[in-house]
Amino acid sequence: MDSPAFAYFCMEFAVHPEIPTYTGGLGILAGDTIRAAADMGLPAVGITLLHRKGYFRQYLDFHGNQTESEYNWSPEHLMEKLELRVKIDVEGRPVHLRVWRYSIKGITGHSVPVYFLDTCLQENSPYDRELTDYLYGGDPRYRLCQEMVLGFGGIGALRALGYMDIHAYHMNEGHSAMVTLALMEEQAWGRGLLSLNQDDIVSVSKRCVFTTHTPMPAGHDEFGLDLVRSILGNDRTDFLIKTKVCSNGFLNMTNLALNYSRYVNGVSMRHEEVARKILNNHHIDAVTNGVHAVTWTSRPFCQLYDSFIPQWRRDNLYLKHAIRIPLEDIRRAHSEAKLELLQEVGRRTAIRLDPEILTIGFARRATGYKRPTLLFHNIERLKAIAERGQRIQLIYGGKAHPRDDGGKSLIRQIFEASRTLKESITVVYIEEYDINLAKYLISGVDLWLNTPQKPLEASGTSGMKAALNGIPTFSILDGWWIEGHIEGVTGWSIGDGWESLSNLESESASLYDKLEKVILPMYYDRPEEYASVMRSAISCNGSYFNAQRMVTQYLQNAYLRNLNNL
Ligand SMILES: *Cc1c(COP(=O)(O)O)cnc(C)c1O
308 and 286, same structural domain? no
For the chain, the first-to-last Cα distance in angstroms comes to 30
Instruction: Give the CB-side neighbour count of residue 527, counting CA atoms within 13 A.
Output: 12
CA 55 to chain centre: 14
461 CA from centroid of ligand 1 (Å): 6
Confidence band of 218 (pLDDT split at 50, 70, 90): low
Confidence band of 279 (pLDDT split at 50, 70, 90): confident
The reported pLDDT for the residue numbered 216 is 73
The reported pLDDT for the residue numbered 529 is 98
d(CA 360, CA 375): 11
Mean pLDDT score across all residues of the chain: 96
- Residue 1, domain member (yes or no): no
Find the domain containing 423 and state its range. 299-543
Which class for 392: exposed (0-12), middle (13-18), buried (19 or more C-beta within 10 A)?
buried
The reported pLDDT for the residue numbered 49 is 98
From the CA of 289, give the closest atom in ligand 1.
Answer: 8
Pocket test for ligand 1, best of 461, 465, 478, 541 (most atoms within 8 A of CB): 461
Prior bond of 455 cis (ω within 30°) = yes
- Residue 372, domain member (yes or no): yes
Q: Which residues contact 532 (CB under 8 A, 6 or more apart)?
A: 327
The reported pLDDT for the residue numbered 190 is 85
The reported pLDDT for the residue numbered 285 is 96
Per the CB < 8 A criterion, the answer to whether 81 and 122 are in contact is: no
Given a cut of 70, whether residue 219 has pLDDT beyond it is: no
- Residue 472, domain member (yes or no): yes
d(CA 89, CA 251): 19
The reported pLDDT for the residue numbered 565 is 45
d(CA 148, CA 151): 5
Given a cut of 50, whether residue 82 has pLDDT beyond it is: yes
130 and 101, same structural domain? yes
359 and 282, same structural domain? no
The reported pLDDT for the residue numbered 220 is 66
Strands 285-286 and 208-211: unpaired
Per the CB < 8 A criterion, the answer to whether 436 and 344 are in contact is: no
Q: Is 364 in the pocket of ligand 1 (CB under 6 A)?
A: yes
307 and 279, same structural domain? no
State the DSSP string of 46-67. Answer: EEEE--TT-S-EEEE-TT--EE
303 and 254, same structural domain? no
CATH code (residue 383): 3.40.50.2000
Element (H, E) at 507: helix 504-514
251 and 304, same structural domain? no
Residues 378-396 have a mean pLDDT of 95
Given a cut of 60, whether residue 306 has pLDDT beyond it is: yes
Q: Is 262 in the pocket of ligand 1 (CB under 6 A)?
A: no
d(CA 548, CA 7): 17
Q: What percent of the chain has pLDDT over 90?
A: 93
d(CA 143, CA 149): 10
Given a cut of 80, whether residue 1 has pLDDT beyond it is: no
Q: Which has the closest alpha carbon to 240: 171, 168, 185, 173?
A: 185
CA gyration radius for the chain? 24
**Beta-carbon neighbour count of residue 325 at 10 Å?**
20
Domain count for the chain: 2
From the CA of 463, give the closest atom in ligand 1.
Answer: 7
Strands 250-252 and 222-224: antiparallel
d(CA 165, CA 3): 6
281 and 205, same structural domain? yes
Pocket test for ligand 1, best of 364, 410, 545 (most atoms within 8 A of CB): 364
- Residue 480, domain member (yes or no): yes
- Residue 371, domain member (yes or no): yes
d(CA 534, CA 472): 6
Residues 325-354 have a mean pLDDT of 98
423 and 359, same structural domain? yes
State the DSSP string of 127-182. Answer: HHHTTTT-TT-S-HHHHHHHHHIIIIIHHHHHHHTT----SEEEEESGGGTHHHHH
Q: Is 366 in the pocket of ligand 1 (CB under 6 A)?
A: no
List, for residues 523-563, the tens digit of each pLDDT value.
Answer: 999 999 999 999 999 999 999 999 999 999 999 999 988 66
138 and 61, same structural domain? yes
d(CA 286, CA 256): 19
Q: Which has the closest alpha carbon to 30: 267, 271, 279?
A: 267
d(CA 181, CA 186): 9
- Residue 176, domain member (yes or no): yes
CA 103 to chain centre: 20
Instruction: Give the CB-side neighbour count of residue 412, counting CA atoms within 13 A.
Output: 10
217 and 179, same structural domain? yes
pTM: 0.97
Can you name the residues that pair with 370 across neighbouring β-strands? none
Q: Is 461 in the pocket of ligand 1 (CB under 6 A)?
A: yes
111 and 162, same structural domain? yes
Residues 363-369 have a mean pLDDT of 95
Phi-psi region of 161 (alpha: psi -120 to 50; beta: other; left: phi over 0): alpha
Whose Cα sits closest to atom 12 in ligand 1? 24
d(CA 39, CA 314): 7
Q: Which residue has the higher pLDDT, 97 or 216?
A: 97
List, for residues 242-263, the tens digit of each pLDDT value.
Answer: 999 998 899 999 999 999 999 9
State the DSSP string of 362-407. Answer: EES---GGG-TTGGGTTHHHHHHHHHTT--EEEEEE----TT-HHH
Given a cut of 50, whether residue 385 has pLDDT beyond it is: yes
Given a cut of 90, whether residue 502 has pLDDT beyond it is: yes
Q: Is 24 in the pocket of ligand 1 (CB under 6 A)?
A: yes
384 CA from centroid of ligand 1 (Å): 31
d(CA 161, CA 105): 19
Q: Which residues contact 150 (CB under 8 A, 6 or more apart)?
A: 9, 11, 47, 48, 49, 117, 175, 176, 178, 179
CA 174 to chain centre: 14
d(CA 151, CA 36): 24
Per the CB < 8 A criterion, the answer to whether 432 and 454 are in contact is: no
Confidence band of 566 (pLDDT split at 50, 70, 90): very low
- Helices and strands counted in the chain (H then E): 23, 19
347 and 204, same structural domain? no
Given a cut of 50, whether residue 506 has pLDDT beyond it is: yes
d(CA 222, CA 38): 34
- Residue 531, domain member (yes or no): yes
Given a cut of 60, whether residue 114 has pLDDT beyond it is: yes
List, for residues 178-210, the tens digit of each pLDDT value.
Answer: 999 999 999 998 899 999 999 999 999 999 999
d(CA 371, CA 234): 44
CA 173 to chain centre: 11
480 CA from centroid of ligand 1 (Å): 13
